[in-house]
Structure formats: structure tokens, C-alpha cells
């Protein structure tokens, strides 16, 4: 272990940890487990999944900003780099702050080590090869093993990590003990070979309070359920896909008839974005509360149908999870670039209602409100998220719902009133 004591100082509940992994390695759940353990210790933490590509084998990063003060934005620089991807080694090494820490798999010798950081080498691959024979187990448990090591290095209560593992695998109880074992292996190695804790550490606080930890897409999908949506038509597109998938999960739980087991909803994965908005408009024309989830390229394809809905006065809700441009690699980066495209979607005299949630709590609230506005105003309504809010979990106020609240369907007339000659016009 290399260490420059003059450049280090103890940082409690205020530092940045970055994981450098390979996409498809199973690291995502382990990294999330690490972030949740810090939250369970009462310390606010904001994780960000940084994935330049969804292609298996290419680089991905997961950054956790630990901030007792509750700061959400990226600070810049890394205090502890968990370098698990040789392809990005030089870049990851360069991002460490002077006096910071490098944790890496020392099964293979490291290169280009800096003298102004503390190096923590742990032979993760060798340890896993000795413990497990199955190749997939070796990879998966290596991730859990480094979480165990980090729990010792940062002074995270191992009981918290074990409880989170039990919760994560409660539906598959046979996996709890092996994961706990892997975590304990990593922790034991760190305690035996490093000076634990290091100069970055977690101390229990109560700064998290009653806040919940959820991503904006899941919150918006749940909001759509509470808002009365029964129809969703969508075409998969990063970063909005998880919103439709969340709606599907919540519908299975809350829109399934307990007597018959049949769902009281319709979810259609269309052949493209043009078809999806057409289905939503058709459902709205027939009185159902319907929505689609998409991103900028999808909005571009929907322009003509949006004009139809606007001028025919048909309610529809669109969740636009904004991202950067359509080129390869860019769709996984966040941007608020669709505001004008949505505000004046279609061709001619159109002005659309736009809702801008600032966090997952408002994603839930606006996810429900959008359907009331669409029915009241008889027009398409856009909820504009972005990748950062939509796909990254963050702390927010708990959701609340007034059971006395009723849907605002706008101006509604019965068939008898229409037959009697009552005027429906505005």
C-alpha cells in the first residue's frame, strides 16, 4: 500500500466514490447495494450511472457522491476510485484527486501508479477463482466481494449490508447466504491487509430522515397508475424504456382483478413511435386515459399525429425523457433539448402544455396531474423529464395521495344529454 500522509485528511460523510466497470459484468446491483448501505447509515448519497454505451463489454461507470449536506450535483474529481476495468485504467487514474485512493484488482500487476495517491490492491480474481468454480459465480461474487472490502475501508456497518442483501434476494432465499459469504470474504481480507478505516469514512447520522430513494421513471410510471391511465403504447428507446416497464409492473400489482386474475389495462409495445402515438390517440378518442413514453427522436416521428390530436381536441399524455442527440453513444447522456420541439409540436398554430418535474417526487405528482390536464383541456400534455432525473435514483419526499381525490374528466356529457340536443361545444 502506497500512501502520502502529508496530502491526506479524514473526510467524514463528504466524498466521491467512482466505480469503473465493464457493461454486462453484473456490477450494477453491487454498486447500488453500496449506495443503499450508505443511505441506511443515515447519510445522503446521490448515485449516477454513467454508461456511454449499452453494448456488453464496453465501459460503464457508477459514481456515488456522499454528501451529508445533501448536495446533488456532480462535484468533479474522485476521492476513491474502484478501478475494475483495465480498458479505462489511465483515464480512471487521472481522475483521482491528489491524496485520494485507488482500489483495484491486484491479481494482475498495476501500471502507471501515481505517487500522490494511496493504492489499495486486492487480488479479487485470484480469491474468487480459489473460492468458486463456476465462471459466472466468479464474476458476480467478485462484485459483492469488493462491496465487502469497501464496507471495511469506509467503516460501513456490515449488518446494514447483510440486511440489504437479504432484502434484495428475499424472493430467492437460497442466494442470500452465498452473497453474504462473498461480502464477508471481501471484508475480512480488507481488515487483515489494510489500515481500516481509511481517511474517508461513513458515520451514522439522521440526515436521510423519511425520504425515499427512487428514480424518476419509476415515480412517473406509478403516477400514471394513480392518474387513472389504463392504456400505454410505446416503442423502446433509451432513456424512457424503464418508465413503460415500471408502469407495467405497477399495473400487474394494482390493476389486476383479484377475483379473476385478469388485468384491467392494455400495454402495447408498438412497431415504432409513430404507431405508438396513433394507438394512444385512438384510446383517448374512445375515452381511455392513455400515454406513451419516448425521447427526442420519438417526438420527431410523432409530429403529424400530435397535430391531429391537438386540432381534433383529443387528450393524450406523452412522457419525454430527454437525452442528447440520436447518434451512437449520445443517447445515454442527459440533455434538456426537446422543450421547443414539444411546445410547438406539429405544424402550424399549436401550443402544448408542458410539465417540468424537478425530482422523482414531482415525477409522481405530474405523472398523475398530466391526465387531469389532458382531459380538462382536451389536448396532448407533455411531461418532460431527462435522463438524469429519469434513470438515476435520488432521495426525495415520500409520495402522498388523497384518497378523496377524483379524476377531473373535464366537460363530460351523457348520451342522453347529447340526444336531447345539449351543445358540447366550448
Q: For every one of its 426 residues, what pLDDT tens digit does the chain have, with 9 covering 90 and above?
A: 444 444 457 899 999 999 999 988 889 999 999 999 999 999 999 999 988 776 778 899 999 999 999 998 888 899 999 999 999 999 999 999 999 999 999 999 998 899 999 999 999 999 999 999 998 899 899 999 999 999 999 999 999 999 999 999 999 999 999 999 999 999 999 999 999 999 999 999 999 999 999 999 999 999 999 999 999 999 999 999 999 999 999 999 999 999 999 999 999 999 999 999 999 999 999 999 999 999 999 999 999 999 999 999 999 999 999 998 876 667 788 899 999 999 999 988 899 999 999 999 999 999 999 999 999 999 999 999 999 999 999 999 999 999 999 999 998 888 898 889 888 776
353 strand-pairing partners: 381
Strands 266-269 and 231-234: parallel
Among the listed residues 43, 40, 41, 21, the one whose alpha carbon sits nearest the alpha carbon of residue 31: 21
- Tell which residue, 261, 212, 275, has the closest CA to residue 36: 212
pLDDT at position 426, please? 60
The pLDDT of residue 375 = 96
> How much is the pLDDT for 4?
45
In sequence order, which residues have a C-beta less than 8 Å from that of residue 362 and are 6 or more positions away? none
What domains can be seen in the chain, in order of their start residue?
7-201 (3.40.920.10), 214-417 (3.40.50.970)
Find out whether 233 and 276 touch, Cβ atoms under 8 Å.
Answer: yes
Contact criterion met (CB below 8 Å) for 71 and 18:
no
3 state SS of 102: strand
Q: For residue 186, what is the enclosing H or E element?
A: helix 176-193
Candidates 249, 255, 252; CA nearest to 226 is 255
If DSSP states are collapsed to H, E and C, what string results for 255-282?
CECCCCCCECCEEEECCCHHHHHHHHHH
43 — alpha (psi -120 to 50), left (phi > 0) or beta? beta
Angle 158-168/27-40 helices, nearest 10 degrees? Answer: 130
Q: pTM of the entire structure? A: 0.92
Helix or strand run (H / E) with residue 225: helix 216-226
CB 321 within 8 A of CB 342: no
Cβ–Cβ under 8 Å, residues 328 and 271? no
Amino acid at each position: 500500500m502506497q500512501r502520502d500522509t502529508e496530502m491526506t485528511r479524514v473526510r467524514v460523510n463528504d466524498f466521491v466514490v467512482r466505480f469503473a466497470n465493464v457493461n454486462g459484468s453484473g456490477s450494477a446491483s453491487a454498486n447500488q447495494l453500496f449506495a443503499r448501505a450508505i443511505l441506511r447509515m443515515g447519510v445522503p448519497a446521490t448515485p449516477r450511472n454513467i454508461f456511454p454505451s449499452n453494448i456488453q463489454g464496453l465501459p460503464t461507470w457508477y459514481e456515488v457522491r456522499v454528501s451529508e449536506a445533501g448536495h446533488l450535483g456532480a462535484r468533479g474529481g474522485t476521492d476513491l476510485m474502484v478501478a475494475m476495468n483495465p480498458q479505462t485504467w489511465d483515464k480512471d487514474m487521472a481522475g483521482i484527486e491528489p491524496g485520494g485512493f485507488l482500489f483495484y484488482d491486484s491479481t494482475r500487476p498495476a501500471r502507471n501508479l501515481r505517487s500522490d495517491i494511496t493504492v489499495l490492491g486486492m487480488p479479487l480474481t485470484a480469491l474468487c477463482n480459489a473460492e468458486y468454480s463456476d465462471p459466472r459465480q466468479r464474476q458476480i461474487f467478485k462484485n459483492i466481494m469488493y462491496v465487502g472490502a469497501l464496507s471495511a475501508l469506509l467503516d460501513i456497518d456490515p449488518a446494514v449490508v447483510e440486511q440489504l442483501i437479504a432484502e434484495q434476494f428475499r424472493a430467492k432465499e437460497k442466494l442470500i447466504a452465498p452473497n453474504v459469504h462473498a461480502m464477508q470474504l471481501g471484508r475480512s481480507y480488507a481488515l487483515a491487509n489494510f489500515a481500516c478505516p481509511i481517511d474517508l469514512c461513513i458515520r451514522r447520522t439522521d440526515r436521510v430522515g423519511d425520504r425515499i430513494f427512487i428514480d424518476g421513471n419509476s415515480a412517473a410510471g406509478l403516477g400514471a397508475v394513480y392518474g387513472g391511465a389504463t392504456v400505454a403504447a410505446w416503442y423502446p428507446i433509451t432513456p424512457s424504456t424503464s418508465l413503460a416497464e415500471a408502469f407495467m409492473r405497477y399495473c400487474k400489482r394494482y390493476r389486476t382483478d383479484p377475483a379473476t386474475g385478469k388485468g384491467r389495462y392494455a400495454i402495447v409495445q408498438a412497431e415504432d413511435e409513430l404507431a405508438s402515438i396513433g394507438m394512444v390517440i385512438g384510446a383517448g378518442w374512445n375515452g381511455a386515459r392513455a400515454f406513451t413514453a419516448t425521447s427526442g427522436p420519438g417526438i420527431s416521428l410523432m409530429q403529424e399525429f400530435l397535430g391531429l390530436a391537438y386540432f381534433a381536441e383529443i387528450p393524450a399524455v406523452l412522457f419525454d425523457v430527454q437525452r442528447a442527440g440520436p447518434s451512437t453513444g449520445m443517447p445515454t447522456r442527459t440533455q434538456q433539448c426537446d422543450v421547443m420541439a414539444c411546445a410547438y409540436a406539429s405544424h402550424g398554430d399549436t401550443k402544448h402544455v408542458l410539465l417540468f418535474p424537478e425530482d422523482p417526487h414531482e415525477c409522481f405528482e405530474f405523472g398523475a396531474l398530466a391526465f387531469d390536464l389532458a382531459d380538462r383541456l382536451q389536448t396532448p400534455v407533455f411531461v418532460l423529464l431527462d435522463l438524469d432525473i429519469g434513470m438515476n435514483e435520488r432521495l426525495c419526499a415520500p409520495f402522498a395521495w388523497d384518497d378523496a381525490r377524483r379524476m377531473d374528466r373535464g366537460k363530460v356529457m351523457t348520451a342522453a344529454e347529447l340526444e336531447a340536443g345539449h351543445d358540447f361545444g366550448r
